[in-house]
Structure 1
Amino acid sequence: MVFILALLTEMQATGQREASLKHIKQRFLSLLQERESNGLLVDQPPEKAGTNWGSMNTTNIQSVISTPIAALSTILEQTSDTIGFKKALYDSWPQDVLTYLYDYAHAELESYYQQQSQNSFSLKEALSDVLTTYLMAKREPLAGHRLGSLMRQAIPAELKKLPFIHADLKIQGSIGQGNWATIPWIAIMDKRLTETTRQGEYLVYLFAEDMKSLYLTFMQGVTIPVETKGRPAAYQYFKEKVQEIRELLPLDGMTKDDAIFLTTGGLGQDYQVSTVAYYRYDVDHLPDDEQLIADLRNAVTNYNEYVNHVLHFRDEHQESVNDQNDDQEQEWEDQPFVDPLTVSERVAKIKNFIANKGFMYPDHWIENFYLSLKAKPFVILAGVSGTGKTKLVKLFAEAVGATAQNGQFTLIPVRPDWSDPSDLLGYKDLSGAFRPGKLTEVLVEASKPRNQHKPYFICLDEMNLARVEHYFSDFLSVLETKEWRDSRIVTTPLIHQDSLQHESDKQVFGDLYLPDNVYIVGTVNMDETTHPFSKKVLDRANTIEFNYIHLGQYPSIGEVQTTEDAVYPPNSLLRSDYLQLVDVYQDYKLLTEETTELLVKINGILEQIHSHVGFRIRDAVCFYMIYNERFNLLGKDAAFDMQLLQKILPRIQGSNLSVKTALLQLMQIALNRNIPLAEYREDASKLYTSQEFVPSAKYPQSARKIAFMLRRLEEDGFTSYWLS
């Protein structure tokens, strides 16, 4: 029918029985391109002819129109340049027959499109389905839910059929992984720019948490910029980028403000700040398919223009780089250091790397070690000799690209005679020249701009052979002074410039601070030759105990990752994302409050023995729990079990009845049930001789440790977390 309309239109224009085949091809193509450009339903061109009508011209549609010409061969006659109705047939027709045929063909074509529309996918109905059923669906199991198929497969598949969706566009939908998403989404990403919603610029349908509205947005991925820059610096980056893109593109018809409202939590704020422009649709007033597709087409047109601009700039920049010598001191944030793996995938890769090296650790130890480093870059590994404490640090560092050979892993054996920070940081000799310590040398190297995206590990071996508070006091102090500055985490100086005499020393070591890509791990054995830890140290570290070893484990045999083909993660994998609880409270309000309520209950017990905790430990435990939920590494109870074991129990020691009472009350929390306190104050042996308690405990690791501490108290008259 499209061909008939093109033929009749050309005949009416010329008043001739025959029309130019070239002009008919032009009219035929124009009719289809007009419908396509307006977002209206139109048959797709044959696969060999082209991806859409807009990409075709009159020279490559001969195969397309040959089919209708052949079907109408009984009434048409054709020369090399013209085509028209057969003369005998044309001469017998009344004068107004061409007008009648045109109206009839037009009506038939519209009827055909209407029927096709009724039988085809409706974007309005699909979006409405999500908006009206999602809240109820969240009460049902996520796995296998029909909304998952709709968002992940059906809607993306239908959007890909639209004529303006080209091959470089990736369409992906999500309703959550493991748990229902608060804000489900359908993203359209140009693969030349980004293939993940974690970074870059893309188009995305965002469903509000209350399902009362839907936004089609041109926005920026928020996750990686926030992780790598910190939220304050990332917000400034988003705002500058928004202004830049708004000035670059027309964005006609789209709203350009920050009035998006998706959720009461902090993630909605991230989206607001990073949004360039948007369309808003209310659930009760969704436009028809024609308008929805027209809006999407306009958004894609603007997005295409932006992508072309970025690619052009990238090509010019690359040419400039190729013409210059490599600048080794280029600021790391100018380059997009992004891990291609998710955090859970990266941790699994680290575990496999360590296992393939022949070292086996209990379940979830690697996840716990990672979360402990993420929460604060100071971890203590405690336990009997020969359990693999130092090896864990070395292999974990190696798995993320930090080795002794490249200077990113440094082992510093602690000496018993260390009594002040000079043994680590350095000292001034008799001439006034500064002689840096081993720790200072690492900090200088890690602080260089070319290295700031690389993690550096320092292992203080046998760190309690000397009193930690004496030689490590400066480090412990500056650890609590961290703040964001120019998208980096900085501290107050470890070495003040004013304390140095020589100008060359001032340039290298002056105002040297603890950079955010340095991680300190201390290994300790607790025996008569070592010193106990003060609460000042314990407050600032996660203490991971290595006393429970299963000797019956054997190395796995697999392919060992080599340094030649390895792709290592950037420092953002390990660096803290939050410095204060206010930075993340809105995002994880419920989890923060649940964790704090538990800590308040525990603190009430610890107050009886003057071992209660403050805000520092409260925040550290909350950060650990938040990272765990973000990256889906451990169950919630397993994660809190680790924190109870590592942040609370190391503070407890003593020989009196109040210590025993506190341990029994903590055991009730670990078991998640009441026990006869009065009876167990007299004799708690049932708790540490019976095998029935620990396996059924809510926090089994902590329950086992508390039982051990009770046993030492009853048998030896004194107990401590550190007794082995």
Structure 2
Amino acid sequence: MSLPVELSTIFRNKQKSYKMVLVLAMIDTWKETQDQSLKLDDVARRFLTYYQHREANNLAVDSSPPRVAVRWELMSISQVKSLLETPIEALRSIVIKQAGGAFLTFAESVWSKGAEVLPELQDYANRELELYHSHLGSEQGLGFSLKESLDHILHTYHEAKSESFANHPLGALFRKILPEQLRLLPFVSEHIRIQGSVGKGNWAGVPWIALMDTRVTKSTQYGEYIVYLFAEDMSAVYLTFNQGVTKPKTDLGKREGYAFLEQKVLELREGLNFEGFSTDEDIHLTSAGLGRDYQVSTAAYKRYYASNIPNDDQLVADLEQLMATYQEYVDRLLQTDQVDDPEYSLETVEEIMDEQAIRERIEYIKSYIQHKGFAYPPGLIENFYLSLKTKPFAILAGVSGTGKTKLIKLFAEAMGATTQNGQFTLIPVRPDWSDPSDLVGYSDLSGKFRPGRVTEVLLEASQNLNKPYFICLDEMNLARVEHYFSDMLSILETQEWQDGSIVTAPIIHDNSLVQEEDQVVYGNLSIPENVYLIGTVNMDETTHPFSKKVLDRANTIEFNDIFLAQFPDEELGMALSPEFTPNQFLRSDYLQLVDAYGVESKPLITRTTNTLVQINSILEEIHAHVGFRIRDAVCFYMLYSQRYELFSENEAFDHQLLQKILPRIQGSSASIRRVLLKLMRECVGSSFVINEYLENVDLLFDEGKLHKLITQAEYPQSARKIASMLRRLEEDGFTSYWLS
């Protein structure tokens, strides 16, 4: 049986392997389905699998289309379907589109010879591919193009920034593929660590790929290293001999840190041969923020414009030359014993986190939680973050099974705080707790101090101040919170600044300990600034209510909205890994209002305070008005939200009204109804006529009217909660924030 003439003629045409692999993919699809109409998706999947298999096993294979993906493993089925348009067109005499291109089939000239022709077709295509790959293998060498990779980044990064960050192919290119390929270069020694970044949780303005000699540095935050830096506008990429900026700025302050870096640059330029590289400050990566950092930290660079990236030979030669200079510098340091602390790493530095870095980390936490298969209401993670930033004590309330404890665990885990490393501790509260001994500890009959679980965490946290520690008190109101937790709450109120750190009064005084060894270990132990206390609560007949002492000191976050029809996203792919996050991310910047009061913050503080004054005048009627503690906390929350651009001003105040004011209201009197209606007017505006609802509050429960009120409200979440509390008051004669 002979092959169609068209096929053998087409195969002999000089072109990539796509046509031959397409035919093989179609035959494999037919073998499985025995259907002459072949789904394009099935054919594309087999087509892609062929290339991915050869690529993964380092076999000779055509490079993936550089403007689409730099590796076959990064290609999607939709991209492959677009790619197949060319070979389908080239094979149009024997490959026919059906149903608008959703299906493919062989032409009648093939089927007319019977199904027996397909194995012969398959053998022919395999022989042609074997010859093709044999020739290709002798030409390919390494099989990796640095030029294509840089081209791909420069021409696709802008578009990528408008797409989802999680599991994006560019992330894999920076973090995995490029480091792996650069490591294969013969001049890259075993001491070199290669690391790339496109950001953490959100796209970086200036992505980078660094090559660091681990004998002198293990982090881009200090020391010297080689790094490719991509301009924010993607007009160019720079190959640079650079320095870490974070540690000098942290240790010396911004001004002196810059002076140190500039002096180091002069020494590097005088002592090393940078022939062929620029040694000036004409490096333009970004117009703000890191732009100045790069200018003062770069000793030498070579600029590659996006419109004219050199060939691979030139790129590799440039890298080899700069690497030789770098190795000469490292050898000199090692010989003269001038190496700084090579163990300095991300976990021992107070990472400088600006507003953009904070937002990026929040986005990363959200992505991490999503990739664990959990979905929470929009804004909840931002709200939880702001609540802990405002005060290191928060309460999560809601019906059982809504994921309160899981939220705390995953939030901490995303920051690198896990049960395994001791930075996350879950403590189930027992109903019989009546004093703090179960948490803090006690002295036994012999005088030996037996520390409670909280004390153990406080001790470890005090020795690792740059790492955040989370304590989750699960179902904390199974016992009366004031009985076992009152000491902790009182100690939290003693927070003050001391040499740039937040300190509290001791939770364990040394004179209360009998044995000397206990005094050394636990004496005058306080609550460190890196410990965050979060309680979960269920409000039912088995639990205890909260006093104002507790409510004053916490943001109470309630989430009772449950959407059961939520399913894991099959497209999420590989889960993200926890990212170490320094305590600065969560540590409070303000303890008293005077810490925050300034020219920029004054207008927002004034507006917020004026609104609280108005609300206080309403609350006075039921003796539920707030004091300076709540005023300060609300202002801090508002300032953080504004600084990090997390919520609008109304959205942020809505959260605070819901979490700091409404939990204080409970009762059965007519005055409770009046106060709630007045607060409803504060939420929805002056058009809300209180007297109308005082006479007939049932009018408020009309679904259409209520929906319209909430839709138009300045503070819709609070308005919805107030309506719920009023309904409970009408139906049961008693209302509380905690009754839903």
The answer to whether residue 562 in structure 2 is matched with residue 539 in structure 1 is no
What is the distance in 2 between the residues matched to 1:537 and 1:551? 32
Distance of aligned partners of 1:327 and 1:669 in 2 relative to their CA distance in 1, 3 Å threshold = closer
Which residue does 2:375 correspond to in 1? 360
The answer to whether residue 582 in structure 2 is matched with residue 570 in structure 1 is yes
Which structure 2 residues correspond to residues 112-127 of structure 1 after superposition, within 5 A? none
Which residue does 1:585 correspond to in 2? 597
**Of the candidates 515, 529, 542, which is equivalent to residue 516 of structure 1?**
529
CA contact (8 A) 2:265 2:297 kept: yes
What is the distance in 2 between the residues matched to 1:535 and 1:318? 65
What is the distance in 2 between the residues matched to 1:314 and 1:239? 30
Instruction: Report how far residue 342 of structure 1 moved.
Output: 1.6
Which residue does 1:192 correspond to in 2? 242
CA contact (8 A) 1:168 1:192 kept: no
Instruction: Report how far residue 319 of structure 1 moved.
Output: 7.8
Which structure 2 residues correspond to residues 142-161 of structure 1 after superposition, within 5 A? none
CA contact (8 A) 1:357 1:560 kept: no
User: Deviations along 1:360-387, whole A, 9 cap, x unmatched?
Assistant: 1111111111111111110100111111
Distance of aligned partners of 1:345 and 1:247 in 2 relative to their CA distance in 1, 3 Å threshold = closer
**Of the candidates 434, 437, 440, which is equivalent to residue 425 of structure 1?**
440
What is the distance in 2 between the residues matched to 1:331 and 1:304? 26
Structure 1 residues not aligned, in runs of 5+: 1-151, 154-166, 174-189, 202-219, 226-233, 251-299
What is the distance in 2 between the residues matched to 1:472 and 1:305? 51
Instruction: Report how far residue 444 of structure 1 moved.
Output: 0.8
Instruction: Report how far residue 302 of structure 1 moved.
Output: 14
Give 3-state SS (helix, strand or coil) of 2:671's partner.
helix
Which structure 2 residues correspond to residues 277-288 of structure 1 after superposition, within 5 A? none
Which residue does 2:721 correspond to in 1? 705
What is the distance in 1 between the residues matched to 2:335 and 2:435? 50
Letter in 2 for 1:348: E
Which residue does 1:376 correspond to in 2? 391
Which residue does 2:573 correspond to in 1? 559
Give 3-state SS (helix, strand or coil) of 1:681's partner.
helix
What is the distance in 1 between the residues matched to 2:441 and 2:331? 45
Give 3-state SS (helix, strand or coil) of 1:192's partner.
strand
CA contact (8 A) 1:599 1:618 kept: yes
CA contact (8 A) 1:337 1:453 kept: no
Which structure 2 residues correspond to residues 321-470 of structure 1 after superposition, within 5 A? 332=348, 336=351, 342-448=357-463, 451-470=464-483
Letter in 2 for 1:382: A
Which residue does 1:622 correspond to in 2? 635
Letter in 2 for 1:677: I
Letter in 1 for 2:719: A
CA contact (8 A) 1:168 1:191 kept: no
Letter in 2 for 1:717: G
The answer to whether residue 711 in structure 2 is matched with residue 695 in structure 1 is yes
Give 3-state SS (helix, strand or coil) of 1:519's partner.
strand
Which residue does 1:176 correspond to in 2? none
Instruction: Report how far residue 562 of structure 1 moved.
Output: 4.6
User: Deviations along 1:395-417, whole A, 9 cap, x unmatched?
Assistant: 11111111111111110000111
Give 3-state SS (helix, strand or coil) of 1:355's partner.
helix
Which residue does 2:730 correspond to in 1? 714
Which structure 2 residues correspond to residues 659-678 of structure 1 after superposition, within 5 A? 659-678=672-691
**Of the candidates 591, 607, 610, which is equivalent to residue 594 of structure 1?**
607
What is the distance in 2 between the residues matched to 1:475 and 1:191? 51
Indicate the percent of aligned positions where both proteins have the same amino acid: 57
User: Deviations along 1:441-490, whole A, 9 cap, x unmatched?
Assistant: 11111111xx2211111110010111111111111011111122233211
Instruction: Report how far residue 332 of structure 1 moved.
Output: 4.3
CA contact (8 A) 1:419 1:470 kept: yes
Distance of aligned partners of 1:510 and 1:660 in 2 relative to their CA distance in 1, 3 Å threshold = same
| Residue range with higher mean Cα deviation, 339-348 or 416-425 | 339-348
Which residue does 2:539 correspond to in 1? 526
What is the distance in 2 between the residues matched to 1:302 and 1:545? 43
What is the distance in 2 between the residues matched to 1:562 and 1:387? 23
Which residue does 2:80 correspond to in 1? none
Which residue does 1:471 correspond to in 2? 484
What is the distance in 2 between the residues matched to 1:530 and 1:380? 14
Give 3-state SS (helix, strand or coil) of 1:521's partner.
strand
Instruction: Report how far residue 594 of structure 1 moved.
Output: 1.1
What is the distance in 2 between the residues matched to 1:542 and 1:191? 48
Which residue does 1:608 correspond to in 2? 621
CA contact (8 A) 1:374 1:576 kept: yes
What is the distance in 2 between the residues matched to 1:662 and 1:504? 56
Which residue does 2:58 correspond to in 1? none
CA contact (8 A) 1:170 1:191 kept: no
Letter in 2 for 1:380: I
Distance of aligned partners of 1:340 and 1:646 in 2 relative to their CA distance in 1, 3 Å threshold = closer
What is the distance in 2 between the residues matched to 1:331 and 1:556? 32
Instruction: Report how far residue 422 of structure 1 moved.
Output: 1.1
Distance of aligned partners of 1:431 and 1:721 in 2 relative to their CA distance in 1, 3 Å threshold = same
Letter in 1 for 2:480: R
CA contact (8 A) 1:338 1:569 kept: no
TM score, norm. by length of structure 1: 0.57
Instruction: Report how far residue 503 of structure 1 moved.
Output: 1.6
Give 3-state SS (helix, strand or coil) of 2:375's partner.
coil
Give 3-state SS (helix, strand or coil) of 1:342's partner.
helix
What is the distance in 1 between the residues matched to 2:354 and 2:451? 34
Give 3-state SS (helix, strand or coil) of 2:708's partner.
coil
Distance of aligned partners of 1:313 and 1:626 in 2 relative to their CA distance in 1, 3 Å threshold = farther
What is the distance in 1 between the residues matched to 2:712 and 2:357? 33
User: Deviations along 1:239-258, whole A, 9 cap, x unmatched?
Assistant: 876998999999xxxxxxxx
Instruction: Report how far residue 553 of structure 1 moved.
Output: 2.4
Distance of aligned partners of 1:317 and 1:704 in 2 relative to their CA distance in 1, 3 Å threshold = farther
Letter in 1 for 2:727: R
Distance of aligned partners of 1:661 and 1:411 in 2 relative to their CA distance in 1, 3 Å threshold = same
What is the distance in 1 between the residues matched to 2:579 and 2:718? 37
CA contact (8 A) 1:687 1:693 kept: no
Letter in 1 for 2:664: R
User: Deviations along 1:319-365, whole A, 9 cap, x unmatched?
Assistant: 8597989699x9945x6576997222211111111112111111111
User: Deviations along 1:570-604, whole A, 9 cap, x unmatched?
Assistant: 11111111112222221311111111111111111
What is the distance in 1 between the residues matched to 2:529 and 2:342? 29
Give 3-state SS (helix, strand or coil) of 1:385's partner.
coil
Distance of aligned partners of 1:496 and 1:239 in 2 relative to their CA distance in 1, 3 Å threshold = farther
User: Deviations along 1:285-333, whole A, 9 cap, x unmatched?
Assistant: xxxxxxxxxxxxxxx9999898779x999995998597989699x9945
CA contact (8 A) 1:493 1:512 kept: yes
User: Deviations along 1:586-625, whole A, 9 cap, x unmatched?
Assistant: 1311111111111111111011110001111111111111
Letter in 2 for 1:367: E
What is the distance in 1 between the residues matched to 2:498 and 2:337? 30
Instruction: Report how far residue 695 of structure 1 moved.
Output: 2.0
Instruction: Report how far residue 547 of structure 1 moved.
Output: 1.5
Please report the RMSD computed on the Cα atoms of aligned residues, expressed in angstroms: 3.9
Instruction: Report how far residue 685 of structure 1 moved.
Output: 1.8
What is the distance in 1 between the residues matched to 2:336 and 2:694? 77
What is the distance in 2 between the residues matched to 1:646 and 1:315? 60
Distance of aligned partners of 1:614 and 1:242 in 2 relative to their CA distance in 1, 3 Å threshold = farther
CA contact (8 A) 2:616 2:626 kept: yes
The answer to whether residue 702 in structure 2 is matched with residue 686 in structure 1 is no
Give 3-state SS (helix, strand or coil) of 1:675's partner.
coil
Instruction: Report how far residue 561 of structure 1 moved.
Output: 3.5
